Amino acid sequence: MTAHRPTSQPDPALVPFADNSASRTIGGMTVENGTDSIAFYGQTDLSRDKAGLERARALLAFMQQVVETLEAQKDLPDVLPPRKPARVANPFA
């Protein structure tokens, strides 16, 4: 189950690349954690007001965590190999 946290505040529980299930929402932008990649989807406005500043800070804080996590990995590959498709049993068979 995916844990959605609709807040603009930094979420210390969302550790970049730590799992394949956690996500959070910043404005209308969803950040979905993964062990190999992090997905961003949706849309948010960084308006010229306090709410926009709060969303910008939340995005910046998470991106800084991502950069620090990647920089700390000593064996970071140039590029990940393509994923091999997994076989899934037919639920209708």
pLDDT digits (tens, 9 = 90+) for 31-62: 999 999 999 999 999 999 999 999 999 999 99
Residue with tokens 């991502």, as numbered in its chain: 66
Supply the pTM of this predicted model. Answer: 0.75
Domain map of the chain by residue range? 23-72
